[in-house]
C-alpha cells in the first residue's frame, strides 16, 4: 500500500492513504461545482428576463423553432409566465402567427385535438442552458392539464421555477 503525505505545517507531515486522498479531492471538486451551479444569494431565483433582453430573445428563439415545426407554421409568443433560475428556464406562452392573428390549429399535429376541443392552446417549455446556449428539454403544446407538475423531479429543475398550484 502506497501512502501519500500532506504537509500540515512546515515541520510535520501526516500520512494519508490514496483512497482517502481521492475522496478529499472529489469532495473539494464537488463543492466547487455546486458553488458554480447554484445561484448566489445575490441572484434572484426565479426571475423574469427583461422584455428586450438578449436572454429572453435567446430563450424564445430556442422554443420557437420546435414549436413552429410542430404547429406547421411560424409563430411568435404572448408570454404569460417566463422564469429563469440558474441554468434553467420555464416558459408558458400563447402561440400566435407573426402578424398577431391566432395560429391556424387546423394544420399541424394538433388539428384533431383542437377539433375535439381537447387543446388548451398554450405552449409550456422547460429549457436548460448548456455550453452557453438555451436548449429545450421538454415542450408541451395543447395541454389540458398542468404538464410541468412532474418536471422538477423528473428533470431536476428547481421547483421555484414553476408557477405555484392552488
pLDDT tens profile 83-131: 999 999 999 999 999 999 999 998 878 878 777 777 788 999 999 999 9
Contacts 24+ apart (CB under 8 A), 81-84: 81/163, 82/48, 82/49, 82/56, 83/46, 83/47, 83/48, 83/160, 83/161, 83/162, 84/46, 84/47, 84/48, 84/49, 84/55, 84/59, 84/161
Does the residue 68 lie in any domain?
Answer: yes
Are 61 and 123 in the same domain? yes
Q: Return d(Cα 64, Cα 79) in angstroms, integer.
A: 12
Give the span between the Cα atoms of 155 and 50, in whole angstroms: 25
Q: Tell whether 12 and 70 lie within a shared domain.
A: no
66 shares its domain with 25 = no
What is the predicted pLDDT for the residue at 60?
A: 98
Q: Match 445561484 to its residue by C-alpha cell.
A: 39
Tell whether 62 is covered by a domain. yes
Share of the chain above pLDDT 90, in %: 59
Evaluate the omega torsion of the peptide bond into residue 46 and state whether it is cis, within 30 degrees of 0: yes
72: left (phi over 0), alpha (psi -120 to 50) or beta: left
Q: Give the closest residue to 62 by CA, choosing from 118, 164, 130.
A: 130
Per-residue confidence band for 68, with pLDDT thresholds at 50, 70 and 90:
very high
128-158: pLDDT as tens digits:
999 999 999 999 998 888 999 999 999 999 9
Helix (H) or strand (E) holding 25: helix 18-37
Residues 59 and 91 in one domain: yes
Q: What is the CATH number of the domain that holds 73?
A: 3.10.450.630
Mean pLDDT of the chain: 82
Percent of the chain with pLDDT over 70: 74
Whether 20 and 60 map to the same domain: the answer is: no
Q: Which residue has the higher pLDDT, 54 or 14?
A: 54
With respect to residue 46, please indicate whether it lies within any of the assigned structural domains.
Answer: no
Total domains in the fold of the chain: 2
pTM flag (> 0.85): no
Whether residue 48 lies inside any domain: the answer is: no
User: What is the average per-residue pLDDT within 34-40?
Assistant: 44
Residues 77 and 150 in one domain: yes
- Assess whether 148 and 93 both reside in one domain: yes
- Residues of the domain holding 24: 3-37
Amino acid at each position: 500500500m502506497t501512502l501519500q503525505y500532506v504537509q500540515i505545517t512546515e515541520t510535520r507531515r501526516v500520512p494519508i492513504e490514496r483512497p482517502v486522498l481521492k475522496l478529499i479531492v472529489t469532495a473539494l471538486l464537488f463543492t466547487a461545482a455546486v458553488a458554480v451551479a447554484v445561484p448566489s444569494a445575490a441572484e434572484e431565483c426565479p426571475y423574469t428576463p427583461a422584455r428586450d433582453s438578449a436572454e429572453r430573445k435567446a430563450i424564445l428563439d430556442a422554443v420557437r423553432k420546435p414549436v413552429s415545426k410542430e404547429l406547421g407554421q411560424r409563430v411568435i409568443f404572448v408570454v404569460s409566465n417566463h422564469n429563469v433560475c440558474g441554468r434553467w428556464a420555464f416558459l408558458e406562452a400563447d402561440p400566435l402567427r407573426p402578424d398577431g392573428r391566432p395560429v391556424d390549429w387546423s394544420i399541424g399535429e394538433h388539428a384533431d385535438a383542437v377539433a375535439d376541443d381537447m387543446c388548451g392552446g398554450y405552449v409550456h417549455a422547460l429549457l436548460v442552458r448548456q455550453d452557453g446556449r438555451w436548449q429545450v428539454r421538454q415542450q408541451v403544446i395543447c395541454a389540458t392539464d398542468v404538464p410541468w407538475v412532474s418536471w422538477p423531479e423528473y428533470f431536476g429543475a428547481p421547483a421555484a421555477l414553476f408557477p405555484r398550484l392552488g
